[in-house]
Every structure is written in structure tokens, then in C-alpha cells.
Amino acid sequence: MAKVEAGMAGNVWKVLVKEGDQVTEGQEVAILESMKMEIPVSVEAEGTITKVYVQEGDFVNDSDAIVDIE
């Protein structure tokens, strides 16, 4: 199991996956917004989303969990 984490603090602008979705390496799973910039969060390996930790509008800090993939 791999945990995908936020690379910086910001608001969760968009969640692009749900639990059970299949993802491929490099696929975006969420978009953060910070200082009016959109920052995509991507997975580094393919697999299945087993847990989504955030909802649109949530605030995350650097290294907070976004999703788990297996």
C-alpha cells in the first residue's frame, strides 16, 4: 500500500478519484489551490484507490495524506 501525500499546504480544490477507482502512474488524484495557483497531486504507481482522506474544500498541510493506493 502506498500513501499519496500533499506536497505543500493548501486547500483541496478538486478530488478527481473515489475509493475503488483504478489509477495509472502519473494520474492526477486531486488538485490543491494555494495563493491562486492550482497544484496537481499525482500517483507514482498504478493501482486501486483504497482510501480517500480529503474532501473538496478541506485544508491540508505539507505531507498530509490525500489517498492510499494498493
Across 51-66, average pLDDT: 97
Question: d(Cα 10, Cα 69) in Å, to the nearest integer?
Answer: 22
Q: Would you state the pLDDT for residue 34?
A: 92
Q: Would you state the pLDDT for residue 5?
A: 96
Q: Would you state the pLDDT for residue 55?
A: 97
Domain layout of the chain by residue ranges = 2-69
pLDDT band at 69; cut points 50, 70, 90: very high
2-69 classified as CATH 2.40.50.100: yes
pLDDT digits (tens, 9 = 90+) for 11-38: 999 999 999 999 999 999 999 999 989 9
CA distances from 45 to 10, 18, 53, 55, 56 (A): 23, 16, 18, 22, 23
How high does pLDDT run on average in the chain? 96
Q: pTM (2 decimals)?
A: 0.91
